[in-house]
Structures are given as structure tokens and as C-alpha cells.
């Protein structure tokens, strides 16, 4: 059975030593308490959640025993309101701390984490775009978590391509709307953990233009202010590969009462406020799973005895050496550790920039921070969720055949991690967002700031950092060359789309390399950070050269065959 110990010390190091945030004492108190909740309340429910799964009984979704109580403890502990603005009744403790806590919750129990994740997104969308009346009625309960939120986009014919959406909204004389349609794959669309659920639903008004320009956003509660049940219900639950305790619902809106959020036909822009936040948090899901999977694999590798070390016995009294002596096991554990710690630093940096983009006194600094968040959101979502799957698979490999057997829990991480690469916009779509929107945005302003940030840091680093900054400079050159290639081919969308996934990884590896340089610069002499950084700079970062070659190989190799011969 897996165990989980939250990496509180590493999180504090990144938040306060590397990113320079103040009030370490508060962070330490919050993270220590969050670690207790994740380790002692959520983690023990992870296995039974997977085995029992959520159930649909008599038209209502029943969560796995223990989830309801855990959710009540979560709300009572004030965990949902941690980063919400104080003017909305939140604690205003900031996004970096929220992300660190979210990593722990995901590592302990990803199925549970989805309810708070979507509630946080609904809070952002409503606080940014809702009318005063709607905010008064719904924000306090979303902030506390008493009424969790959902995100209702997907329909059977409409997944990535939201322009195909069919659900309808008809205006009523009292200012409300009536929603009709079927949504699928709705996470926590129904459950018994709360008295009410706040659905944010995309639908079309009468006479709306076709495509994405004709979509509006609505708030549709499960229970109306009168106490009556609204005409929205879960008609089926999906049977799925992982995250089995998180109900994935088919939702029927059968003349349900709702209120518009934001302007008519501008719903997609409003929903993007929710989705951008959710994309970063889905990245955190991948990171949390990677961390838990590799922690368990490392413990196993310290105790499993097989064969002798290549340099001779390290455990001469025993029948064999622990497998942690073998270089290939080291490769599996340490390459993942280097990615996990680098990705953690990257995500927390983006969280810090997110807060700066809202709160900094200087508008130019706010703009720079907004640019950084926009550029790095698809990178964080994809890199961290790819890591989640890779680390979970490598965790199974370290366990050998025992990893394939349910008892070790290693295989559950693989099944749970897989969805993170798909929902909130598949990783392929994140890559298209990076090359098609973010890189060319404002004539390359976002990407130019990123290059300036990384190269200035390299230039200002002392000579003692050369073993790290020199390979990073090479990787930056590879990324610059790939960016020039993209810009040159900007008018040929087949070329840029063919390069997108490789370009995103190249971008991500440079961003993580930048964070590693920042971490090593702050590491104490006793810290293992420089040793782990060496793994990153020698075993992982050189991949940027092959990624550049793949980017520049263009579309022809992929598009030469006709569809029927692929
Ligand atoms: C467990 C689970 C929970 C979910 N929770 C929610 C939820 O709470 N709310 C909600 O609204 N939705 C939810 N979803 C839906 C999820 O967001 C979609 O499944 C996802 O966006 C992909 O849509 P699709 O499944 O229709 O795939 P499709 O859109 O059919 O895509 C299939 C493949 O084609 C690729 N593709 C499509 N277009 C392009 C393109 N232009 N270029 C390159 N590749 C392309 C995709 O990347 C993908 O690999 C959930 C799904 C699951 C499985």
C-alpha cells in the first residue's frame, strides 16, 4: 500500500528562498497542517475510492464512504478559501500557497481533489464576470466550499471543438434563462458531499451566431433559492480507467433555471477565466501524482533485494543488494526527481506571477506578469501532466512485476494520471495554443520577455554556476532557433502544428532549467539540490538538441501519406 509524506521542506525552500516570498512562518503553519490533512485523512481513502468508485443510486450520486466526511473537514478547515480574495470572504494567502496545498491533496487523493479544483475555477469565473446579484448569492458559498462548482462544456458531439456546442438557453421575463441540453463527462456533476452544486454551463441563446462566437455562460444551481430542486440531473455515470471515486456524469438540463454570467455570446472568454486556472491546477495534479509515485518507488528500491551492485556487494551480509544500487534504477528515480523538483519550482513561480498580475502597484510589472502566466500556462499544464504519467509508469518499472500487481498501488497512479493529459484541453491542444497563440501574441512580446529573463539570469550568475548555466545557454540557443523557425513558418499552419508538441517540450525543458539554476543558487552547502540539478543538466536537458531537429523536420514526414494509409 502506498504512503505519502508531503514535501513541506522543499516547498518552503522554493516559496521563500528561491521566490523570495515573505511570511515563512504562516506558510510553514499552513503547509504542516495541510500535510497532516493530506496524509492522514485523504491518502487513506485513495485505495477504497479506486476500488468502490462513486455510484448512481435512485437518480443521485453517492460518493465512496469517507469522502463526504473528508469534504466536510476540508470545508471546515478553510482549505477552499485559502487563496480567495479577502473582499470575497477568503483568506487571501496567495496562489503559491494554494498550489503547494493542492499538490499535497492531489498526491494523496486525486479523485477528491477535483471537487475543490473546479470550485476554485467557478469562483474565478464568477468573481471576474458575474453580476453583483449573482456574486452576492453564490460567491460566499463557493469561497467556503459549502457549494462546490462544476464546469459544463462537453457534449457528445463537442469536445475540443466548442463551436459544435448545441445546448440552448431561452430568456425568461424575470431575467433568468431556461437551459435545455445534455452535457457529458461532467466531473462531480452530482454527489452527496454538499447541499447544493453550482454548475457553470455553456449554451447558445436564440439567434446566436454559429461557432464559438455564439456561446454564452450561465450559472445553474442544483437547488434554487426557493429550496426546490432545479431541472438538472445526472442520468448516468461513466465507467472509467482511473479517478474512479470522482463521479464523471452525464447531465441532463431539462428546462433548468439559470442566470447569465458576463455578456451574451461572450461566454467562452468568461469560461477561459475558469479554464486557465483549471489548466494550471491540472498541471499540479500531474505533479502531485508524480511526487507520490516516485516517493513510493524510492522506498521500495531501498528495501527490495536483487542482484549485486556493478562495483561489488553493497550489502555483503544480505543475500543481495537493494535495487537502489543499480544505475538503471537510479536513472528511473533521479530523472523523475529532477523533473518533479524543477516542475514544482516552475509551477510555484507561475503562481507567484499570477498574483503579481492582479496585485502589483506598477502596471508595467502587472502586464509582464500577465504575459508570463499566459505564455507558461500551456507549458505547465502539459509538462506537469506528461510528467505525472511518465513518473507513474517509471514507478511501476521500479517495482518490477510487483508494480503490475494491485497490492503495491503503483498501477493506480498510472491509471489516475492518464486523464490529466486529456482534460482541460488535451496536451496536443496546449501545444497548439503555445505555437499558434502565445508565441506570436503581441509580435512575440511574451516570448521575448521569457528569453530576456532567462538570459539575464544566466549572465548575472557567478562563474561557479557555469556547470549549470553553460548547458542552459545551449538549450536556450536551441529554443531560440526553434522559435525563429516557427516565426518563419507562421503562415503555414500545418508546419507549425506539426512542430507544436516538440516545441512545447523544448520550451518546458528550458523553463525548468531556468528554475534549476535559481534553486542551485539558493541551495545550502549540505543540500542535495546541486546533485539532483546535475542529473537534470546532464541526463535531461540535452534532449533539447533532438527536439530542435524534430521541430525543424517540418510537416512533410507526417503529412505525406494519405489518411487511409496512415
Ligand atoms: C474523466 C473525465 C472528466 C472530464 N471532466 C470534464 C468536466 O468536468 N467538464 C467538461 O466540460 N468536460 C470534461 N471532460 C471532457 C474533456 O475535457 C474532453 O474529453 C477533452 O477536452 C477532449 O475532448 P474529446 O474527448 O471530445 O476529444 P476530441 O475533441 O474528440 O479529440 C480527440 C483527439 O483529437 C485531438 N484533436 C482534436 N482537435 C485537434 C486539432 N485541431 N489539432 C490536433 N489534435 C486535435 C485531441 O487532442 C485528441 O487527442 C472530462 C473528460 C473525462 C474523460
- Cα 159 to middle of ligand 1, angstroms: 5
- Closest residue CA from atom 52 of ligand 1: 185
Alpha-carbon dihedral angle through residues 420, 423, 426, 427, given to the nearest 10 degrees: -30
Ligand 1 pocket (Cβ < 6 Å) reads 151-154, 159-160, 185-187, 240, 248, 419, 422-423, 425-426, 428-429, 432
- Closest residue CA from atom 44 of ligand 1: 428
- Closest residue CA from atom 40 of ligand 1: 429
Q: What DSSP assignment string belongs to 84-133?
A: S-GGGT-----HHHHHHHHHHHHHH-HHHHHHHHHHHHHHHHHHHH--HH
User: Quick one: pLDDT at residue 1?
Assistant: 78
User: Quick one: pLDDT at residue 273?
Assistant: 81
- Closest residue CA from atom 38 of ligand 1: 160
User: Quick one: pLDDT at residue 2?
Assistant: 85
- Cα 165 to middle of ligand 1, angstroms: 13
Which ligand 1 atom sits closest to the C-alpha of 187?
Answer: 8
Which ligand 1 atom sits closest to the C-alpha of 183?
Answer: 11
- Cα 437 to middle of ligand 1, angstroms: 19
Residue whose CB lies within 8 A of the most ligand 1 atoms, among 61, 245, 422, for a mutation test: 422
Which ligand 1 atom sits closest to the C-alpha of 161?
Answer: 29
pTM for the complete prediction?
0.98
Q: Is 61 helix (H, G, I), strand (E, B) or coil?
A: strand
User: Quick one: pLDDT at residue 271?
Assistant: 87
Residue whose CB lies within 8 A of the most ligand 1 atoms, among 154, 239, 251, 267, for a mutation test: 154
Residue of 336, 267, 271, 276 whose CA lies nearest to 301: 336
Which ligand 1 atom sits closest to the C-alpha of 159?
Answer: 26
- Cα 429 to middle of ligand 1, angstroms: 9
CA angle 552, 553, 555 (to 5 degrees): 105
β-pairing, 177-187 vs 216-221, is unpaired
- Cα 291 to middle of ligand 1, angstroms: 25
User: Quick one: pLDDT at residue 14?
Assistant: 98
Q: Is 79 helix (H, G, I), strand (E, B) or coil?
A: coil
Q: Identify any residues that bridge with 305 across adjacent strands, giving them in sequence order.
A: 322
Residue whose CB lies within 8 A of the most ligand 1 atoms, among 121, 157, 160, for a mutation test: 160
Q: Identify any residues that bridge with 186 across adjacent strands, giving them in sequence order.
A: 249
Q: What is the set of active-site residues?
A: 424
- The whole-angstrom separation of Cα 200 and Cα 230 is 14
Cell numbers describing residue 74: 476540508
- Closest residue CA from atom 37 of ligand 1: 160
CA angle 19, 22, 26 (to 5 degrees): 115
Which ligand 1 atom sits closest to the C-alpha of 158?
Answer: 26
β-pairing, 216-221 vs 248-261, is antiparallel
8 A C-beta contact, residue 199 and residue 150: yes
CA distances 2 to 295, 332, 407, Å, are 9, 18, 9
Each residue's pLDDT expressed in tens, for the chain with a length of 566 residues:
789 999 999 999 999 999 999 999 999 999 999 999 999 999 999 999 999 999 999 999 999 999 999 999 999 999 999 999 999 999 999 999 999 999 999 999 999 999 999 999 999 999 999 999 999 999 999 999 999 999 999 999 999 999 999 999 999 999 999 999 999 999 999 999 999 999 999 999 999 999 999 999 999 999 999 999 999 999 999 999 999 999 999 999 999 999 999 999 999 999 888 888 899 999 999 999 999 999 999 999 999 999 999 999 999 999 999 999 999 999 999 999 999 999 999 999 999 999 999 999 999 999 999 999 999 999 999 999 999 999 999 999 999 999 999 999 999 999 999 999 999 999 999 999 999 999 999 999 999 999 999 999 999 999 999 999 999 999 999 999 999 999 999 999 999 999 999 999 999 999 999 999 999 999 999 999 999 999 999 999 999 999 999 999 999 999 999 999 99
CA distances 518 to 326, 375, 389, 535, Å, are 30, 20, 26, 16
- Cα 261 to middle of ligand 1, angstroms: 24
- The whole-angstrom separation of Cα 257 and Cα 277 is 26
Residue whose CB lies within 8 A of the most ligand 1 atoms, among 159, 241, 248, 433, for a mutation test: 159
- Cα 558 to middle of ligand 1, angstroms: 22
- Cα 20 to middle of ligand 1, angstroms: 38
User: Quick one: pLDDT at residue 83?
Assistant: 93
Amino acid at each position: 500500500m502506498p504512503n505519502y509524506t508531503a514535501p513541506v521542506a522543499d516547498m518552503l525552500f522554493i516559496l521563500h528562498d528561491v521566490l523570495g516570498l515573505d511570511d515563512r512562518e504562516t506558510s510553514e503553519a499552513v503547509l504542516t497542517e495541510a500535510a497532516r490533512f493530506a496524509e492522514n485523512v485523504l491518502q487513506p481513502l485513495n485505495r477504497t475510492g479506486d476500488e468502490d468508485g462513486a455510484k448512481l443510486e435512485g437518480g443521485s450520486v453517492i460518493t465512496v464512504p469517507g469522502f463526504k466526511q473528508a469534504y466536510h473537514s476540508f470545508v471546515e478547515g478553510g482549505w477552499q478559501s485559502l487563496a480567495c480574495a479577502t473582499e470575497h470572504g477568503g483568506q487571501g494567502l496567495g496562489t503559491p500557497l494554494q498550489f503547494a496545498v493542492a499538490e499535497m491533496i492531489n498526491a494523496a487523493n486525486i479523485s477528491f481533489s477535483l471537487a475543490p479544483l473546479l470550485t476554485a475555477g467557478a469562483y474565478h469565473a464568477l468573481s471576474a464576470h458575474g453580476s453583483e446579484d449573482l456574486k452576492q448569492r453564490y460567491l460566499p458559498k463557493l469561497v467556503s466550499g459549502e457549494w462546490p462548482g462544476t464546469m459544463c462544456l462537453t457534449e457528445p458531439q463537442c469536445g475540443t471543438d466548442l463551436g459544435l456546442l448545441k445546448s440552448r438557453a431561452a430568456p425568461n421575463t424575470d431575467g433568468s434563462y431556461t437551459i435545455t441540453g445534455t452535457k457529458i463527462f461532467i466531473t462531480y456533476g452530482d454527489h452527496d458531499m454538499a447541499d447544493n452544486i453550482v454548475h457553470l454551463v455553456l449554451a447558445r441563446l436564440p439567434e446566436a451566431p454559429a461557432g464559438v462566437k455564439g456561446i454564452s455562460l450561465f450559472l445553474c444551481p442544483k437547488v434554487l433559492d426557493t429550496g426546490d430542486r432545479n431541472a438538472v440531473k445526472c442520468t448516468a455515470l461513466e465507467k472509467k480507467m482511473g479517478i474512479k471515486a470522482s463521479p464523471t456524469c452525464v447531465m441532463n438540463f431539462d428546462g433548468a433555471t439559470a442566470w447569465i454570467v458576463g455578456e451574451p455570446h461572450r461566454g467562452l472568454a468568461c469560461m477561459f477565466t475558469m479554464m486557465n486556472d483549471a489548466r494550471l491546477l491540472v498541471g499540479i495534479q500531474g505533479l502531485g501524482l508524480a511526487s507520490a509515485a516516485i516517493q513510493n518507488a524510492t522506498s521500495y528500491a531501498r528495501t527490495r533485494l536483487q542482484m549485486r551492485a556493478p562495483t561489488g556487494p553493497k550489502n555483503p551480509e544480505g543475500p543481495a543488494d537493494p535495487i537502489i544500487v543499480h544505475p538503471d534504477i537510479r536513472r528511473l528515480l533521479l530523472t523523475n526527481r529532477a523533473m518533479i523538483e524543477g516542475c514544482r519550482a516552475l509551477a510555484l513561480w507561475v503562481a507567484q506571477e499570477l498574483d503579481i498580475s492582479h496585485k502589483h502597484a506598477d502596471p508595467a510589472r502587472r502586464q509582464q506578469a500577465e504575459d508570463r502566466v499566459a505564455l507558461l500556462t500551456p507549458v505547465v499544464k502539459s509538462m506537469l501532466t506528461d510528467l505525472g504519467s511518465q513518473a507513474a509508469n517509471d514507478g511501476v518499472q521500479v517495482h518490477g512485476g510487483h508494480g503490475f500487481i494491485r497490492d503495491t498501488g503503483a498501477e493506480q497512479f498510472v491509471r489516475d494520471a492518464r486523464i490529466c493529459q486529456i482534460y482541460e484541453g488535451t496536451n496536443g491542444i496546449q501545444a497548439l495554443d503555445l505555437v499558434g497563440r502565445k508565441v506570436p501574441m503581441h509580435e512575440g512580446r511574451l516570448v521575448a520577455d521569457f528569453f530576456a529573463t532567462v538570459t539575464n539570469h544566466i549572465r548575472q550568475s557567478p562563474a561557479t554556476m557555469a556547470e549549470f548555466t553553460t548547458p542552459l545557454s545551449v538549450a536556450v540557443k536551441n529554443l531560440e532557433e526553434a522559435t525563429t523557425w516557427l516565426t518563419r513558418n507562421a503562415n503555414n499552419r500545418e508546419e507549425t502544428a506539426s512542430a507544436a508538441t516538440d516545441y512545447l517540450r523544448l520550451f518546458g525543458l528550458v523553463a525548468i532549467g531556468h528554475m534549476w539554476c535559481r534553486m542551485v543558487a539558493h541551495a545550502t552547502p549540505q543540500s542535495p539540490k546541486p546533485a539532483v540539478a546535475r542529473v537534470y543538466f546532464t541526463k535531461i536537458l540535452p534532449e533539447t538538441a533532438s527536439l530542435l531537429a524534430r521541430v525543424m523536420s517540418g510537416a512533410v514526414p507526417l503529412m505525406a501519406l494519405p489518411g487511409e494509409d496512415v
